[in-house]
Structure 1
């Protein structure tokens, strides 16, 4: 029991130190830090909306080719992750989600994903210094593969949203520890 209390106290102390450190940095870039700190709540909301439509898109995705392979994940993890995320959000907001909305099957859920993506994109642009955005990532391979998939590309892109959410979550978490 004493060991358990010690471990809980140590965990609370570590969390408090991390929170104090982030608050110290947040004073300089308050809204950007607050956005990153609050992102887990948005991620929970977006995953909830996606859970309602996932089975439909995954069951209609019969393609073996992947849009989001390890290369894309590695791009998310490098210093250019902000640019990668910006390009991919742009791709989903301008290409994938409007097409999914035209199917008019899951409008409420797709719209909610779109709203959160728009908010994330807006914050990424506003906080480009916070995220140290640079531009070496080329989304052209993802867009080209998507185009080659034809009508099935929509199912592939929507079916892989959970993978994209994981990439975004990893990137946002890395930004919390960095700042």
Structure 2
């Protein structure tokens, strides 16, 4: 009987440690991801170990504190949508691009659009609403991604009444 209890405790402790290292619970602040994510929503994310987990339209959490191309003041943690992957060609309106952004690879200018080719190991991130994103920062390196959002936990009704 005591062996079963010890094994059960070991399994429980192992799952708890794995969950703490593998999952993130993050509160959303700001409105850049509205309507997908609302301020004070919470998201559950898995820490990203493999790049192939990230797909177009994934929502990711990034730590931008060490990304050299981002001007000061740097946002530290952001939640954004992935709209282009390494090697993708992506079309973006010329007027949407901050003129100081290091775009790295403009293939061509096509009327009012730039055609960009993303470099290896970089993502193009977008806000769902109004807010800063790769149009302002340039492509973001994969190693800045710390989590892949799996689940949105809406804010409680009581919180929305304030």
Normalising by the residue count of structure 1, what TM-score does the alignment of the two structures yield? 0.27
Q: Which has the higher contact order (CA 8 A, sep 6+)?
A: 1
**Relative to total residues, which structure has the larger strand share, 1 or 2?**
2
* Greater gyration radius: 2
TM-score, normalization by structure 2 = 0.29
